[in-house]
Amino acid sequence: MIQRFRVHARHPQKRLIKKAVAELELNNLVIFPTETLYGIGGSASSLRSLRKLARVKNRKKNKGFIVLINDPREATRFAKNIPPHAKKLMRAFWPGPLTLVFKKRSGIPSALTGGRKTVAIRCTSHPVARALIAAAGPLTAPSANRAGGIPPRSAREAIHVFKGDPEVTFALDAGRSKERQPSTIIDFTGRHPRFLREGVIPIKRVIATLSKLK
């Protein structure tokens, strides 16, 4: 059974964050809000959590997970190299709904990256997610749905999806998300930035920001 707790969206209660972190430390999966949609995640450094997450999501083995951080400086723990243009976008949009893909550092588990040589990173702006990361370290945070399903905008929707999975034990409910789209994703592993997905941040806005920063 998934335990659901109402958490303050702007000022999350420390006791609830502590409870969620205790579940994460047991390698269980937690449903929580992000600045886009509701996510489901575990520790980004726990192989057990990553394997559980891939299983409950019905994730293909070659598809990695986004790493959620709460401080842009944490990106260097996972990314081998961060190009100047990426750093400019980080300053412009982080924390926020922008995911950036980099070549990964050695030692990053393949279970996190889907066996690829790249890693996707986002610096979250949601207070609940930030509090979780501050206490537990970087998390994985795909949307809280099965592969191919509709990403949930509420904790109740996510719980309905995973209510039969013993690996998913805890949910922080901060109310319904105002966003209907996921994060925008840009790949910085090649010579030029490559747009992989348009989400909350319009691609035109990213292009305009890059042109101003040249």
Q: Where are the domains of the chain?
A: 3-213
* 100-117 mean pLDDT: 95
Q: Given a cut of 70, is residue 154 above it in pLDDT?
A: yes
pLDDT at position 94: 98
pLDDT at position 141: 86
What percent of the chain is predicted at pLDDT more than 70?
A: 99
Diameter over CA atoms, the chain: 52
Collapsed DSSP state (helix, strand, coil) of residue 118: strand
> What is the CATH code of the structural domain delimited by 3-213?
3.90.870.10
Q: Given a cut of 90, is residue 61 above it in pLDDT?
A: no
* 186-206 mean pLDDT: 95
How is 125-159 classified by DSSP, letter by letter? --HHHHHHHHHH-SEE--BSS-TTSPPPSSHHHHH
- Between residues 182 and 211, the one the model is more confident about: 182
Binned at pLDDT 50, 70 and 90, residue 213 comes out as low
* 59-83 mean pLDDT: 95
